[in-house]
Amino acid sequence: DQQVKQNSPSLSVQEGRISILNCDYTNSMFDYFLWYKKYPAEGPTFLISISSIKDKNEDGRFTVFLNKSAKHLSLHIVPSQPGDSAVYFCAASAQQAGTALIFGKGTTLSVSS
């Protein structure tokens, strides 16, 4: 049973607009969440993380929002750039799982100029 779900396999956005990628989780023991970006033929690259004690974390153009009651997090990219076109993975961590990350299946973002 998937504990981390990214229900949108793909998202298309115009350059300069906001990209919003969503992620839902089912395990209430998750207390740390991460977003990774992956280009073809490369490994995932860490983007941003958030601890469950926060509801927002910003890093430049990237902001992650966490809604614990809804078990939902989202990644906002503003403004979107063509170089942001990649697969974005949401991942979660729980104390009992040690350092193992539980990943969603990814959302492919396409930013057109």
Partner 1 sequence: KAGVTQTPRYLIKTRGQQVTLSCSPISGHRSVSWYQQTPGQGLQFLFEYFSETQRNKGNFPGRFSGRQFSNSRSEMNVSTLELGDSALYLCASSSSGRRKETQYFGPGTRLLVL
**Residues found near partner 1 in the complex (CB under 8 A):** 32, 34, 36, 41-46, 49, 51, 89, 91, 93, 95, 97-106
Nearest Cα neighbor of 10 from 106, 112, 113 is: 106
- Give the C-alpha separation, 40 to 44, whole Å: 9
CB of 105 to partner 1, least distance (A): 4
Q: Helix (H, G, I), strand (E, B), or coil: what is residue 53?
A: coil
Q: State which residue, 9 or 16, has the beta carbon closest to partner 1.
A: 9
Q: State which residue, 41 or 70, has the beta carbon closest to partner 1.
A: 41
The pair phi, psi for residue 19, each rounded to 5°, is -105, 130
Q: State which residue, 52 or 85, has the beta carbon closest to partner 1.
A: 52
